[in-house]
A and B are shown apart, each in its own frame.
Chain A
Amino acid sequence: EVLLVESGGGLVQPGGSLRLSCAASGFTFSTYAMSWVRQAPGKGLEWVSTIGGGGGTYYADSVKGRFTISRDNSKNTLYLQMNSLRDGDTALYYCAKVSVGTAKFDYWGQGTLVTVSS
């Protein structure tokens, strides 16, 4: 059974930093792309970033230059380093397993909440 468990969310001041983690199990983590997708309170889904199985990284324009996605295949863990956080980054952050060839997010975690506020 595929399981994705996010952690690391919390309250941070504007301009601050936070690192999210996503522990994966139930599949061969190193061979799959992984993504972060966020959802602001009461709003829709927004793709944030993807990292390929080979390590290639891709970002939405809204976070480019501020967020860094990475992975540790030895720990089956996905990360999102978030710097220069803004009010607009407040959201529930989901990690999702990606099937790159078919562009589908086929498994999702339950999310971790990031609140940016002074």
Chain B
Amino acid sequence: QSALTQPASVSGSPGQSITISCTGTSSDVGSYNLVSWYQQHPGKAPKLMISEDNKRPSGVSNRFSGSKSGNTASLTISGLQAEDEADYYCCSYAGSNSYVFGPGTKVTVL
């Protein structure tokens, strides 16, 4: 149950697009179409933003999109806004009813 790999921080100016990568292995990210992404503002609970690699739950802005290639998943935020400043975590199903999270990426809006 090794953690996924994410960049510690990503930044962008308002209106720009940024992409956060999430690298796992052929045992987790690469084996299942079950990567999810969570947004967490300071002092708040995580919020589901993307599931099943690229599905956006009802109520989540279409500025958020997910993709995957091989063992690496990505979250793209387009039209970056001040409210997007938060920590973002990827999570993958890892088989045998287990899950693995990434260490989180701090997104800063310049």
Mask of B66-107 contacts with A, CB within 8 angstroms, 1/0: 000000000000000000000001011100111111111000
7 tightest CB-CB pairs across the interface, nearest first? A103-B93, A104-B51, A103-B34, A58-B97, A47-B99, A108-B45, A44-B104
Q: Is the CB of B97 within 8 A of A44?
A: no
Interface centre among A37, A45, A94, by most B CB within 10 Å?
A45
Q: Are the C-beta atoms of B45 and A111 separated by less than 8 Å? A: yes
Q: Describe A's contact surface by its main secondary structure.
A: strand
How many B residues have CB within 8 A of the partner chain?
28
Which chain A positions have C-beta within 8 A of B55?
Answer: 102
A residues at B contact (CB < 8 Å): 35, 37, 44-47, 50, 52, 56, 58, 60-61, 94, 99, 102-111
CB contacts (< 8 Å) of B103 on chain A: these are 44
In the complex, A61 Cα to B34 Cα: how many Å? Answer: 21
Q: Which residues of B contact A (CB under 8 A)?
A: 1, 3, 32, 34, 36, 38, 40, 45-48, 51-52, 55, 57, 89, 91-93, 96-104
Is A106 touching B98 in the complex (CB atoms < 8 A)? Answer: no
With the chains together, A107 CA to B45 CA distance in Å? 9
Q: Are B38 and A105 in contact (CB under 8 A)?
A: yes
Contacts of B104 in A (CB 8 A): 44-45
